[in-house]
Each structure stands twice: as C-alpha cells, then as structure tokens.
A and B are shown apart, each in its own frame.
Chain A
Amino acid sequence: MGAPAGRLAVVGIDCRFPGAPDTGGFWDLLMRSGDGVSHVPQQRWDAGSFHSATGAEGRSNTTEGGFISDADAFDNEFFTVSPREAAAMDPQQRLLLQSAWRSVEDAGYPPHGLSGSSTGVFVGIMSNEWAQLHLTDYPRVTAHVGSGNGYCMTANRISYHLDLKGPSLAVDTACSSSLVATHLAANALLAGECDQAVVGGVNIALTPALSIFYTQAGLSAPDGRCKPFSSEADGIGRGEGVGTVVLRRLEDAVADGQRVYAVIRGTAVNQDGRSNGLTAPNRWAQQDVLAAAYRRAGVEPSEVTFTEGHGTGTALGDMMEVRALGHHHAGRSGKPMALGSVKGNLGHTEGAAGIAGLIKVALALHHRTVPASRFAARENGGLRLREHGLRLLKAPLRLPSGPTVAGLSSFGMGGTNAHAVLESAPAPAPAAARPAGPPAAVGTGAGAPLFTLTAPTPEALRRNLSAQADAVSARRVPFGPLCWTSNTVKSGHRHRFAVAAADTGELAGLLRSAAEGEDVLQRSTGTTSEQRIAFLFTGQGSQYPGMTAGLYRDSPLYRRFLDEADEALRAHTGTSVRELILGGDESVHRTEVTQPALFAVGWALGRTLTELGAKPDLLLGHSVGEFAAAVLAGALTLEGAARLIAARGRLMQELPAGGGMLAVRAGRESLAARVADEPEVSMAVVNGPSATVLAGDITALEQIEKELGSEDVTTRWLKVSHAFHSPLMEPMLDQFAEVAREVGGGVPQLPVYSTVHGRLLAGEAMDADYWTAHVRSPVLYADAAAALIEDAPTHMVEVGPQPVLTSLARRLGPPPSGARPSVALPVKGEESGGRDLAEALAVLYRDGLDVEWEALYAAEERVRQRIAPYEFSKEHRYWAANPVTPVTAAPAAVAAGGTTAAGSEPEEEHSGAPAPAPAVSGDGVADAVLAVLGQVGGYEPAELAPHLRLYEDLGFDSVMVMELKGRIEEHVTGGSELEMQELLLRLSSVGDLIGYLRRHPATRSSQEKKA
C-alpha cells in the first residue's frame, strides 16, 4: 500500500510545557483548558523587584509567566557528560537532548539504532539568555562555557550524542523559529537530504529581559497570560517549553508499519519585507503564507476544519491574523473554520511556540478532538470572526471519522511567517491488505512474550521500571506488541531486565515489585557480558507421555521444528512419533519409541532455541541425547540421525527381554572389581563420582544388589526394558553398524563433549564406528560434563523434556576457576509451555544474549506499540548561580556543583540576592492576628509571613476559617462580629488579612480601648 508522496509523517513526540511534564500531561492540560501560568519562580529572577504595575522603565508589568518544572535537572550521567560540562551547558541544550531521546523512542526507534543514520536535527530557538549571563563573565569563560552556549549547539549536541549524520542546525526567526525549523526539516526530508528528522523547539526564560521588553513595547499582559482572540486580550505572557517531534516521509513510515500521529501535507515560509514597521504584524504577508501553504498541500481553504492560530492575544496581532485568515475563509459555505491557540494555556513560548502548536495539532488529529481554546468563551466581538468565516473553539471539537485537514500558523516578530497544513493519519492498512504473512511452515513465536528494559545503571533501571509500571497499569494495550516494542526500543544499555508475563495486569505487578523490591529486581536483572552457552541434551529416562505438549500448543516455532523432526522420522518409524508423544501414549516408554521421541524433542527444542538466537558454543548429549547434539553440531544430517535413531530403537526393542539396569550410589572405582568379575554385567553409565549405573543380566545384577545391600550401599532399579550399554546389546551391533555405515557422519563443527569418550571430541568424526561403539560403551557423562565445565561455559541450557543433566552437573562441583554457569531450563516438566521457554530465554538475554526477537513473536504480534519514554534522573541540577536582580553589577557565574544544593543555591558572594521577606511589623493588630492564625493553623507566629496565602500556603480550609472568624472576633475586634462574606474576600494572604483588620472600625475601637 503506497502513501502519497510529498507528505511527512509525525511519528514521535515528546514535550514539556508549563503545567505539563510530558506529552500525556500536555494533552490533559489542553483538554482541561488548564492554566500553565503561575508566579515567576524565585530561581529565575526576583519578580517582585522587577515589577511595576505601570510598566516603569526597566520594569515589567507582570510577575507571572508560564514556567516548566525541573528546568534545571539534567541526567548528565546518562549522556556521559561531566558535572562540570553540564553546569556550563545552556539548559535549553540539556532539555532538548533529553526530549530528543524520548521522542525518538516514542517513534519506535531504539535511539542507539539510529547511530550513523541519515537523520537530521532542526531546532527552532530564539532565547540566548544563558549566553548573555555567562559569556560576559570573561574570566570564567572555559572551553565548556563555549560549547555550552550558542544556538547551533542545541542541534549539534543531539546529533553528537545520538550519532546522527544528517543536517544539524538551529534557526532563529523569533517566535516562528520552530515552525520554520519544521519547514526546513520537511524540505530536507523531501529532498532526500535525510531519512528521519528530529525537529525541536525550546524556550527557557532565565532573565526578565523579554518581559520588560514586552512591557515597554506595550505588549505585555499584566496577568502574564495570553488571551487569544478574547475580549479580555491585553497582551503577551511569556511561556517556556521544550518539544521535539520525529518526522519521516509518509511513505517510509507506512511501509515500516510505524505509528503516525498526523501527516504534514505542506509548509510555507515568507517575510513581511519592508512593512509598516520591523516588528509589526503584516496581514498581507500572512495571507500570502497561508495561500502558499494551502497550495503546496494541495488543499482548498474550505477543506481546513480547524486552525491553530498564532494568537498572541495582542489587539493588533489578533486582528491581523483574523483578517489574513478571513481572506481565505470568509466565503466558506457550511460551518465556519474553528480557531484556537495554545498560547491561552501556556503563554507565548516564543522559540518553542511553533512546536507547541505543531504538537497540539498532531495530538488533536490523533485523538480526533480539538481542545477548546482557553479564554475563547469571551470572544472579542470586534474581530467579527463570523464574517471572516471563523469561529473560536469555545468547547472541544469532536472530529468526524475520515481525513481532517488542519492549519497551523506561527509568525515571527521580525516578519518571518510560517504556516503548515496537516492532516489526520491515514487509517492503518487492514490486516488483509498487509503483505501476506509467512506460511505456517515458517511459523514464529515462542508462545509467550518477554518484556524487557535496559538502563545504564541499576538505579536508572529501577526508575524506569516504575515509569513503565505506571504506564502499563494506566491503559490496556495489546500485550504481545507492547513486549515486542519493549524488546526493540528499550535496548542498548548494560543493565538488562526481562520478565515473562501472561498479560499487562501481571506485567504491571511484576514491574512494580521489581521497581520497589531488591529481590525481584535482582532475580530479573543481569548485565551484559561475553557468553558461552552449553546445550545439554537429556537421554533415556527423561521421557514421559505428553512431553512438551504444552510447548507444542503454545509455540508455533517449536511446532514447526517438532513437525519437521516427525517428518524426518516417519519414513523410518512408520508412524508419527509426534502423535504418540502429544497423545500422552504410554508407549513412549518402549525404547523403540523412546529413542526417536527424545531425539525429536531434543532436536526441535535445540532448533527452537537456536532460532531464538541462543546458539550453542558447546554441546553435550547424554547417550541418546548425543544424536540431537550431533545434528546441531553438523556431524549428522537430520535425516541421517532420524534413520539412525529409529534403527537403534527398533533393534534394541527386538532384543530379547531379560536385561536390567541398576543405579548404584557408589563410584566407578569401587565397583570396577565387582564388574570385572561378572561377564554378564557391565558399567553402563557414570553420572558422577558416586552415581553409577550397572547393566546386564538380571540374575547377575540381583546378586550384586544383594552384596551391595549388605555393605549399606544404596541401589535402585531403573525402569527399562533392556540392559543398555551392556553386553546384552551385542546381538544388534552388526545390523546397526550396517545402517550406520550407510548414514555416515562427519566431524562436528562445534565442540562436542562425548559421553562415549568422556571428553571433548578432538577432530574425531561421529561416524558409523562412533555410533556403534556408542551402543555398547558406558556413558561417561561425569567425565564429559567435567570437561565441559572446565571449558567455562557461562550458561548451561538443558535441552530435553525435563531437567536432569544440569542438576547432575551441579553435583560435580564448581568449575576449577570462575563462577558456576547459570542454568536455563526451557522445559521444566509436564506443565511447561511457552512461558518456561520465554523465561529460559530471559535468563540468557539478561546476561547479554542477542535474542532474535522476530522469532519470539508470531507475525501478528510484531506490531509497534507506543511505549512510555525513558525517564531521566532529576537528581542532578545545574543553574546559573546568580540571582537576576535589577541592580546586577557583578557578572554571572556558573555553579559547577552537581547536586541540588550546590546547583540551585545562590552563592553568598553575590550582593544582589533578594532580602528575606520582611517581618511583619510588630503592632498590636498584627501580633494578635498572627497569634490567632497560629492557633487555628498550628503555626508559630514567626513562621507566618505576610505573603503567605491562607488556603494555598497555610492549608486553611473552610472549617478552619469558621474557627478563625470566631477567634478574630474574640481577640482582635473586641467581640464585635465580622461580616462573613466580607471577611472571605480578605483572606487571600496573611498581609491582606492584617491590613483589612487594621482598617476595620471594630479593631480600631478595640485597640484604642486596650491602649
């Protein structure tokens, strides 16, 4: 399915805006018509000392603005940036870097996976305040201060840390910067200059300079809030923000099955030229840029359902914008075009304004709802919107199904205008229209998914587990696709977490307990290192009816290989071994069935693991288990091994009954003499230093059993039909050798630890002679396993229907050097299914295995799912050490400390630090009010400052207010009653209350009496 060319897909988003810590929070703020504007944080500047309600020279008329949280926090360790360098970096660089990482993840890319790719970075930015503060402090300009500043570095840092090779640039066109950056990115993508683009915008207010400028230019809203197109509009309020999106050519995104938030159909940029004034908005140029964008997008204006306006909320700006839009929309038939602006929620985010609008429009198209525009209810009637074919978004607008076209404007103060036309994402191709899935013969899927997460440190892992737990429990998502996405996107770091779970509910619980509990975290986490994987194939005795039936049911991958083995065997067994196994037939204990059945299970399981990426470095098979090992080692073909094992089983079955096998808890040395004396008995198996099996004539074995019993040596009869690996096998040897010669056999391509020789095969072929000797010779498992362990495998995987060999190996003791190998058990027993296989894989993955994720999932599960982005540490904070004050004389200094305390506290040497809040003057009224407030609220009078607000800061509620009223009447107003409604209006702050009561006649007379 092709997508139209010339269009771009928004595939990843991340942002932080005032009142919105992330993309989800941003959408929530918009849908609530929330207010992100608040008082200027003390960390930025002392708003009070810059404030002048009348807008005096050098002052701002507002103490409010839209500020983002944690602007000073930076996870420098994640990016391996030293604290010193981090402290010298413009926070705009730091925030963009983190945001870029998150939006790349949101786009479904593992960020490391973009390394070296043709990915461009385009940043819109207009605030350079960090440089103004730090590059003028000449004695302290270091190399880091240099690279920590400058527009270019915001983009270049992202390219550097993510190793992106496409164009990387920052653009400043004032308030239109980030939409112009989007335009440049779009052009670069369409021109083939890059294949992906990270587009960002950022704005952090470090100084009041622009607030003062807006005030002096008569453009600043006294309440610090933009009120776009509202009758209450009275100017601009500044806002901060950081946002990034990932763009691709639409056809590439669709072909890759990538999730698309929205489509950019066309963008345009132009200039006012020599207009009414450098900074005045120009209606004609805006009109032209709209026309150019519509033309490029190939849409008629009437097709545009809604437009995210520039909407700064200045009288002139709003009017120019409405007229420019009206030129295109006044003649529309049907409903007027809906109009709104995010500036009502955030303030004017300047360099980030374009990206804020772009993200809002993309999310609106994605969620099929356009949020209401804050302050729209009181529309500015003077704009005559209706006549211009426009209507304000006073309520959220539900978008109909089918494509919706939207516009987005961003205009720069210097006259550079930008407009973009977006459209809702194309409907995902229906399942039938997707490329036909692989035929059943190449079935994939282990039957149970694995959720994985990686992080550079255990602490980071824990933090991100917690974030994922929150995300997973918040909303149901398809489980397989979520896991598959976690495997691909959340890869690349050293500390690896992996768990298997049945569904999102169980996963959320596991993630939460791993995030909170040390034990769970340790059990499910590992660190990557070199792996040497040993496969141990079990032999006779491990079989049982219905073995691996659960895995066969759950895992298409295992099914595929067991079917293949069955197919190979059927020519020689005449019947389906698979049906006998899965049917739970007791005949699986008859050696003519047991041997081919164990071979089929061992080989299929081995191939399943190999296909999943777990390739053996060392191989060992216990007796019959050696056939599957030989095939995996390339010494036998599947067909050859099938023929051989079928013949072996059949010939042994045909031998007369009467032999037996006796397990003895004693070493081979202590039994050697006894066996030598008895020609009808031989040493059949050596499993360990005191685990031996004797085989042969039953009468002779019974004699030995009696003798050992008298010596207090424990013995146990094995449930076998024949005495394997004993002289009783000799009658079949000739016939078997004949088949074996026809089958042949080569030198294994991987190290095989032979239980015939009890050592590593040194270039010896596993041929007819080998397999014939294999029938009669004792199984020297203890020797083979000891040799294997000595060669230092990191992991032992037991390949068979139940674990036997790994526990025998453990009893051989620790390796001569190094740690004991870890054990992975893909089949634990009768109940095992896909989940045990997944958990075995998890053991290997945690320690560094590169899993073939494609094989772990069925085709329909390999669908990208949005996954919560990386949660960065907020532990380290870096900020300008200088408080910005009106009397700044000393040049700024950089806080080099890496911790909260050092980073955010002003240094003592600066004299301009704001004085602590003045104490309340100690008159009688104030003292009495403070005492009363203290009694009701539980505060010491010294803790109460005039600026503290009763509700927000002191936690008063209405019941406390009732009590307060009573006490005031008793202690302040001399018993005279206060008017409740009147009092309520005076309760905003401690200072207000004191002032009100000072002026209150009842107080005065009461005070006079006291005096």
Chain B
Amino acid sequence: MTETRQDGSAGGTSPATYLASVGTALPGEAVDNNTLAKTLGVNAEWIEVFIGTKTRHFARDLATGTVRWSLADLCAEAAGKALAAPGVDPQDIEFIVLGTATPDTLMPATVNHVADQLGLDQVPTFQLQSGCAGAVQALSVARSMIASGEYRTGLVIGGDVCSKHLDLQRDLTGAAPGDLVNFVLFGDGAGAAVLTDEPRGQRVALREVLNRFTGLGREPGQVIEWFGLADRHEDRQALREDYKAIEESVPVMAVEILWELLGELDWQAEDLDYLLPPQLSGRMTRLITEQLDVPTAREVSCVAETGNNGNALPFLQIEKLLEQMTDGQKALAVAIESSKWIKAGFALEKTS
C-alpha cells in the first residue's frame, strides 16, 4: 500500500517518501586517541575528557599523509552498499543528491564522479554545499522531488573528508583548546540512502524534514575557507569555529528542532522510540541529549566511534537505527549546522 501525505498548503495529497536502504563507508582502520595524540603531540586524556571521541577514520594515511580515498570513493562505496540492499534496484535510480562541505574539486561536482563510479547516467544530479545539515537538506530535496510525483526513486548521499585540513606538520604543543579541537574532533566518511515513493526494503517512512536558516544577523559559528590561485598564500586559517557560541546555542536550537518536529507531526515526546541527536563530539552530544530530555527514547549516536565526519553522520546513525527498529517504531533526528546556524531534522517511522 502506498501512503500519501497531506500537503498542507495545497490541501491535496502527494506521494509519501520511504527510505528503502542505507549504506555507509568509513575509510581504513579506526584511529584511537593514543595514536592520534602521538601523531599530533597532544594529550590523549584531554581528547577523551573534553572531546569525548574515542576513535575516528581518516581518508589520509596518518603516517605518510598520502590520500588513500577521495570523497567520491567514499560516497560511491556507501551508495553502492545502499543500492545493493534487498528491495532496491539500481536501475530505478532517477536522481542523485549529494550534500558535502568538502568536495574533491569545485568542478566537476563530486556527485557526478560518484554517479560515474556507480555506472549511473542520464539522471539529474545535485550537490548541496553544506556542513552538518547537508545530509538533511539532501533528504529534503529528495522528498520534494518524490512528492512532486515526477520521480519515484532517488539516491541521497552525504559525506565529508575533513582530513583535508588535518595538517600533520603543525606543532601543537602549546596550542589553545579552540585550536586543538579542530585536529581531534573530525573524521572522514560517507553515507547514502535510497528513497522511494512506496514502502520497499526497510519500509521506513520519512515523515517530516526540517531545514531552516536561522542565522540572520549572527556571526558564523564555523567557517571553512577555500583558496584559489590568487589567495592561496594568504595567511588565513582554513578552519575556524566559535566553540563558545556553539556550546551556548546548539543545545537550545536542538531542543527547538525536536519540539518543532513533534509539533508538526503532532507526536508526543513519549511516542518516540529513538532519538538521533546532533553528533558534534562525544561530549557535546552527551550534553545535548541530556537537554533534549526524552528519557523514553533510545539514543542513537555514532560520533564517539566515527568522529565528526559531517554529512556522513545522519546516515551512520540511520544505519545503527535500522539495526534495532521494528514495525511501528518512531525515530526523530536533530542536526545543526553552526556555520550560519542552520536547523535541520527529520522523522522516521517504520511501516509494517
């Protein structure tokens, strides 16, 4: 049975969206805190206590600095897994949307290399340039495309290769915490999902997606620069974060996203079986989950093991979620991009 969803504005109905499968990719072996601490010359206990992340994966070889996987490689690997899942036929893919903040090149957009690797051709491709909200934005675009009735099946991907900014030459002894965080917070990875207009495969309905800019008049909480021929020698920090602003604002925004989604769906907090909180770092995610205060819902997090790998995170969480989710269960995910303060989130319900 194909459900339809109410389209509030038009008063009509449009096709509902389902998640049929998911796939993820993490490059190489997990790098633990001791290894990272040794490589960077920082205190392993400090990472453990103040970041709360235990392991992460890097596309770049930590010893030699050699790039072993491109973003396209990771995305294609994750997408390949999603396409190979039961109930999914790669032939059905009618569009691809990729969200990332760290494309391999500005042109061609990485999504096209992914399509190439997957052997997909003659389909519309989109790449959304976005940080932690990119995966959700990709879901939002895919949902709208399916709701339009013009497309039935699409591939949604999120991934980031943060190790592009992992400068192994830097001497970090005496670095301030704000500086150090950038070296120990992040990881690399990718995730993908196949969305359909009917329950197939995992048969998980995508009930609601929130994607909203809320940064009017606010300084960015996170900036990633890019350099061209004219300015590549400028002494600008490639990565900057305002951790104070992030620590202050993200928990508040997370609570608002949770309640806004619940309000839109007319779900009660007690209805939630799972909660997918924002994956900033092991420690921050713990703090935010406390604030979200939905004790009846089981937390599904991955950042302590994967590091913050940006747009891969929601797919890694969904993958963990699907291992546990049973028919009729509900899950709600919250994501925040602190760059220009973007609220994002989505709600899933496993149909029978």
Stretch in A618-626, A704-712, A722-730, A955-963 touching the partner:
A955-963
Q: State whether B249 touches A32 (Cβ < 8 A).
A: yes
Known contacts A475-B217, A980-B49, A981-B49; decide if A394 and B259 are in contact (CB<8 Å): yes
Is A31 located at the chain interface by the 8 A CB criterion? yes
Q: Shortest Cβ distance from A331 into chain B, in angstroms?
A: 18
Nearest 6 CB-CB pairings of A with B: A394-B259, A395-B260, A395-B256, A958-B50, A958-B177, A395-B259
Q: State whether A394 touches B255 (Cβ < 8 A).
A: yes
B43: nearest chain-A partner, CB-CB: A962
CA of A396 to CA of B260, assembled, Å = 8
Is A520 located at the chain interface by the 8 A CB criterion? no
With beta carbons under 8 angstroms apart, the residue of A31, A394, A959, A962 that contacts B263 is: A394
Contacts A377-B255, A377-B258, A395-B258 known; 16 new A-B pairs at CB < 8 A: A24-B217, A33-B252, A376-B259, A378-B293, A394-B255, A394-B259, A394-B263, A395-B255, A395-B260, A396-B256, A957-B178, A958-B49, A958-B50, A958-B177, A959-B177, A981-B49
A936-973 interface bits toward B, Cβ cutoff 8 Å, 1 = contact, 0 = none = 00000000000000000000011100100000000000
CA of A391 to CA of B45, assembled, Å = 45
Contact-residue bracket for chain B: 20 to 34
Q: State whether B252 touches A958 (Cβ < 8 A).
A: no
CA of A376 to CA of B260, assembled, Å = 12
B252: nearest chain-A partner, CB-CB: A33
B101-149 CB contacts (< 8 Å) to partner A: none
The interface residues of chain A lying within 8 Å CB-to-CB of B180 are: 959
Q: State whether A474 touches B177 (Cβ < 8 A).
A: no
A398: nearest chain-B partner, CB-CB: B212
The interface residues of chain B lying within 8 Å CB-to-CB of A957 are: 176-178
A346-400 CB contacts (< 8 Å) to partner B: 372, 376-378, 391, 394-396
A372: nearest chain-B partner, CB-CB: B256
B268-282 interface bits toward A, Cβ cutoff 8 Å, 1 = contact, 0 = none = 000000000000000
Q: Shortest Cβ distance from A924 into chain B, in angstroms?
A: 28
Is B267 located at the chain interface by the 8 A CB criterion? no
The interface residues of chain B lying within 8 Å CB-to-CB of A579 are: none
Is A773 located at the chain interface by the 8 A CB criterion? no
Is A209 located at the chain interface by the 8 A CB criterion? no
Is A28 located at the chain interface by the 8 A CB criterion? yes
The interface residues of chain A lying within 8 Å CB-to-CB of B257 are: 395
A31: nearest chain-B partner, CB-CB: B214
A396: nearest chain-B partner, CB-CB: B256
CA of A962 to CA of B173, assembled, Å = 13
B38-67 CB contacts (< 8 Å) to partner A: 43, 45-46, 49-50
Q: Shortest Cβ distance from A880 into chain B, in angstroms?
A: 34
Is A316 located at the chain interface by the 8 A CB criterion? no
A393: nearest chain-B partner, CB-CB: B259
Is A901 located at the chain interface by the 8 A CB criterion? no
With beta carbons under 8 angstroms apart, the residue of A28, A33, A475, A962 that contacts B256 is: A33
The interface residues of chain A lying within 8 Å CB-to-CB of B260 are: 394-396
Q: Shortest Cβ distance from B7 into chain A, in angstroms?
A: 15
The interface residues of chain B lying within 8 Å CB-to-CB of A377 are: 255, 258-259, 293
* Cross-chain pairs A/B with CB under 8 angstroms, 28 sampled: A28-B218, A31-B214, A32-B252, A33-B252, A372-B259, A376-B259, A377-B255, A377-B258, A377-B259, A391-B263, A394-B256, A394-B259, A394-B260, A395-B255, A395-B257, A395-B258, A395-B260, A395-B263, A396-B260, A475-B217, A957-B177, A958-B50, A958-B177, A962-B43, A980-B45, A980-B49, A981-B49, A984-B49
B9: nearest chain-A partner, CB-CB: A400
CA of A28 to CA of B249, assembled, Å = 12
CA of A981 to CA of B177, assembled, Å = 18
The interface residues of chain B lying within 8 Å CB-to-CB of A396 are: 214, 256, 260
B188-218 interface bits toward A, Cβ cutoff 8 Å, 1 = contact, 0 = none = 0000000000000000000000000010011
A1-38 interface bits toward B, Cβ cutoff 8 Å, 1 = contact, 0 = none = 00000000000000000000000100010011100000
The interface residues of chain A lying within 8 Å CB-to-CB of B45 are: 962, 980
B291: nearest chain-A partner, CB-CB: A377
B51: nearest chain-A partner, CB-CB: A958
B259: nearest chain-A partner, CB-CB: A394
Q: State whether B217 touches A474 (Cβ < 8 A).
A: yes
The interface residues of chain B lying within 8 Å CB-to-CB of A474 are: 217
CA of A394 to CA of B267, assembled, Å = 14
The interface residues of chain A lying within 8 Å CB-to-CB of B178 are: 957
B262: nearest chain-A partner, CB-CB: A394
The interface residues of chain B lying within 8 Å CB-to-CB of A28 are: 217-218
A983: nearest chain-B partner, CB-CB: B49
A454-481 interface bits toward B, Cβ cutoff 8 Å, 1 = contact, 0 = none = 0000000000000000000011000000
Q: State whether A959 touches B249 (Cβ < 8 A).
A: no
Q: Shortest Cβ distance from A390 into chain B, in angstroms?
A: 13
CA of A534 to CA of B223, assembled, Å = 58
CA of A115 to CA of B255, assembled, Å = 50
CA of A353 to CA of B260, assembled, Å = 27
The interface residues of chain A lying within 8 Å CB-to-CB of B177 are: 957-959
CA of A535 to CA of B163, assembled, Å = 71
Q: Shortest Cβ distance from A936 into chain B, in angstroms?
A: 14
A331-348 interface bits toward B, Cβ cutoff 8 Å, 1 = contact, 0 = none = 000000000000000000
A392: nearest chain-B partner, CB-CB: B259
A475: nearest chain-B partner, CB-CB: B217
CA of A33 to CA of B250, assembled, Å = 11
B167-181 interface bits toward A, Cβ cutoff 8 Å, 1 = contact, 0 = none = 000000001111010
B268: nearest chain-A partner, CB-CB: A386
A53-75 CB contacts (< 8 Å) to partner B: none
Q: Shortest Cβ distance from A274 into chain B, in angstroms?
A: 41
A367: nearest chain-B partner, CB-CB: B216
A656-702 CB contacts (< 8 Å) to partner B: none
B241-259 CB contacts (< 8 Å) to partner A: 249, 252, 255-259
CA of A377 to CA of B293, assembled, Å = 9
